[in-house]
A = this chain, B = another copy of it.
């Protein structure tokens, strides 16, 4: 079982009420890869610059992540700076230097082509669609997107949505994509655009998965998983990507794609998101054990399950 992720690798400067860090290895594909690596073999496709050296490479190697898909381009790696104030749900962007990421054209190494599962992190929708078409052998494709693409490239995004099985976005993005303020109605509209399942992330309130009628089994009820009430969120950056990594990683580790598997995946998504925010950057994701992950999964269960 293995998973291919296509997305950004970056260096972040982050300030939050708990402190600040500079030049931390980050980016959606980094958070995703590390989170997913506890469940399955991960293969990353990304682009970096000459400031990405052996130290950064080792972060991925320590997690047995295949880095043959990381392209080395001339120039600097994508850099982002953001500040969180009391509202930890939203960062103020201090700077965005796309650098080599600006002209990213994902190339899939031949050795990646037999992967089971594909995850298209948040990049330009046409690039996502191109990758998806090249990876026709996968049994499941997950996808992320953002407000920027929803408003700027709606047609391209619509094409991409026809090609993916599970879309993972947040409340605001779902409502914007569907042009609908009621969440379950928005979910139905998004499902009609293509995906078999839609995961809507509610930040500190958890996440809900909505299924298209008949997809992954019978029934038509959504399913909701909690988030952990955390007393100190140090750095919310990457929480959504870590959620996606836990969700998709667990799915990739399972033989069958049933609703029950997707429900458990929703819990594992919340678990990995909750670890990610405990430290700055992906630090916490680098030092986990599967026992810690399963203990927190059990805690999430206790947080929601009646006797």
Contact = CB atoms under 8 A, between A and B. Distances in A.
Interface in A212-237: 221-226, 229-233
Interface in A286-307: 299, 301-307
A91 to B, nearest CB: 15
A50 interface: no
A109 interface: no
Contacts of A224: 206, 226, 303-304
B222 A208 contact: no
A185 B306 contact: no
B221 A181 contact: no
B267 A306 contact: yes
Interface in A167-216: 181-185, 187-188, 202, 204-206, 208, 210
Contact of A299 (B87, B185, B221, B226): B221
A284 interface: no
A188 B221 CA distance: 34
B230 A181 contact: no
A182 B16 CA distance: 13
Contact of A184 (B86, B222, B229): B229
Q: How many copies does the complex hold?
A: 2
Contacts of A56: none
Q: Dominant SS at the A interface? A: mixed
Nearest to A259: B307
A221 to B, nearest CB: 6
B306 A306 contact: no
A185 B231 contact: yes
27 contacts: A86-B181, A87-B181, A182-B231, A182-B232, A182-B233, A183-B229, A184-B229, A184-B230, A184-B231, A185-B231, A188-B231, A205-B206, A221-B302, A221-B303, A222-B229, A223-B302, A223-B303, A224-B303, A225-B304, A226-B304, A260-B306, A260-B307, A264-B306, A267-B306, A304-B304, A305-B305, A305-B306
Contacts of A279: none
Interface in A228-278: 229-233, 260, 263-264, 267
A233 B185 CA distance: 11
Contacts of A303: 221-224
A260 B181 CA distance: 35
A225 B184 CA distance: 18
B307 A304 contact: no
